[in-house]
């Protein structure tokens, strides 16, 4: 049965993924298939070029950006052999609603490794307008900076907040919570 989330028609630099399911590269970057979905693993330097290529290939929307802190799981599995695991990872989900060249809707993910000592990525705002707030949330919660972002400031926490609450090494429980009706 054909997978509606995957199409053989996209341009892959090494091989057409549909023709060669064992292909280890698509769109010029390492890739894997996870539950029928193409997962690309670009480097930080390749991210903007990949985003532009995906947009030109019909992936008209970046539907989600999120980050993960793998501090407690440094030896995780699921990365291609030529991709080195870093502490942080930014995950971007893209969708194509279908076009003449690829009529079936398609989804894919890009997972970018972000080192702890240099948590910086290029902003996708110029290629995919609408990701501005998602990038700000990643900055606010994880401390990953997006270069050339139009407003790289906190979005959830107060401006004077110290630290990034979704980092695994963030001290938990330092903010006292007063529940309504509880004794002081």
Global model pTM greater than 0.75? yes
Q: For 141, phi and psi rounded to 5 degrees?
A: -85, -30
Can you tell me the distance from the alpha carbon of 169 to that of 27, in angstroms, rounded to the nearest whole number? 35
Does the pLDDT at position 176 exceed 70?
no
State pLDDT tens for residues 2-27: 444 444 434 343 333 333 344 488 99
Q: What is the Cα 123 distance to its own chain's centre?
A: 11
Q: Measure the CA–CA gap between 170 and 65, rounded to whole angstroms.
A: 21
Domains of the chain in sequence order? 25-147 (3.30.460.80)
- Phi, psi for residue 112 in degrees, rounded to 5: -110, 125
In this prediction, residue 5 carries a pLDDT of 44
Question: Following CA atoms 1, 40, 109, 16 in sequence, which dihedral angle do they give, to the nearest 10 degrees?
Answer: -30
- Residue 99 banded pLDDT, cuts 50, 70, 90: confident
């Amino acid at each position: 049965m054909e997978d509606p989330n995957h199409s053989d028609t996209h341009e892959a630099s090494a091989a057409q993924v549909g023709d060669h399911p064992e292909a280890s590269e698509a769109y010029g970057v390492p890739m894997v298939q996870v539950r029928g979905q193409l997962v690309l693993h670009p480097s930080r330097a390749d991210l903007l070029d990949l985003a532009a290529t995906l947009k030109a290939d019909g992936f008209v929307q970046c539907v989600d950006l999120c980050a993960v802190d793998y501090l407690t799981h440094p030896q995780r599995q699921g990365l291609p052999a030529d991709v080195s695991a870093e502490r942080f990872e930014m995950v971007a989900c893209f969708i194509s609603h279908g076009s003449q060249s690829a009529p079936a809707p398609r989804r894919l993910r890009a997972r970018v490794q972000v080192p702890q000592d240099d948590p910086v990525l290029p902003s996708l705002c110029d290629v995919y307008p609408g990701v501005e707030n998602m990038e700000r949330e990643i900055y606010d919660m994880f401390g990953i900076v997006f270069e050339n972002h139009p407003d790289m400031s906190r979005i959830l926490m107060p401006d004077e907040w110290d630290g990034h609450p979704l980092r695994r090494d963030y001290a938990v429980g330092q903010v006292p919570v007063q529940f309504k009706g509880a004794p002081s």
